[in-house]
């Protein structure tokens, strides 16, 4: 099997989603039900970057973000660096509690 020459390789573009920068104080509820204030640093349709006022949530933890307008977003903590962390938002295909 022959391979194409490396000059023929074209990287697949990895477009980053538009992000909105700004600082807003919101509430995070972790998987243990503990509520803590966090400062959102930037947000996109797929996730957010935030700073915890205390300890950050742990990687792979499911959290919910309670926004000032009363809406709630949930997601998975993907990375943590000291008190900074990123959350990838989840999408629900059916009832969250598994019923119905």
Residue 73 has pLDDT above 50, yes or no: yes
Name residue 82's beta-bridge partners.
Answer: none
DSSP string, the chain: -----GGG--PPP-PPPP-EEEEEEEEEE-TTS-EEEEEEEEE-SSEEEEEESSSPPPTT-EEEEE-TTS-EEEEEEEEEETTEEEEEEP--SS-TTS--
Show the tokens assigned to 78. 């993907």
Q: What is the pLDDT of residue 37?
A: 94
Q: What is the pLDDT of residue 16?
A: 52
- Tens of pLDDT, residues 49-72: 999 988 999 999 999 999 888 889
Structural domains in the chain plus CATH codes: 20-89 (2.40.10.220)
Query: Do residues 78 and 86 touch, judged by C-beta distance below 8 A?
Result: yes
Query: Do residues 82 and 56 touch, judged by C-beta distance below 8 A?
Result: yes
Q: What is the pLDDT of residue 51?
A: 96
Show the tokens assigned to 96. 């969250």
- Tens of pLDDT, residues 5-51: 545 545 455 555 555 556 778 999 999 999 999 999 998 888 999 99
């Amino acid at each position: 099997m022959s391979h194409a020459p490396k000059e023929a390789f074209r990287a697949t573009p990895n477009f980053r989603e538009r992000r909105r920068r700004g600082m807003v104080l919101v509430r995070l509820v972790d998987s243990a039900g503990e509520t803590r204030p966090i400062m959102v640093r930037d947000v996109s349709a797929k996730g957010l970057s935030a700073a915890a006022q205390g300890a950050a949530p742990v990687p792979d933890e499911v959290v919910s973000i309670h926004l000032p307008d009363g809406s709630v977003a949930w997601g998975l903590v993907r990375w943590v660096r000291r008190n900074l962390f990123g959350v990838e938002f989840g999408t629900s295909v059916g009832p969250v509690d598994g019923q119905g």
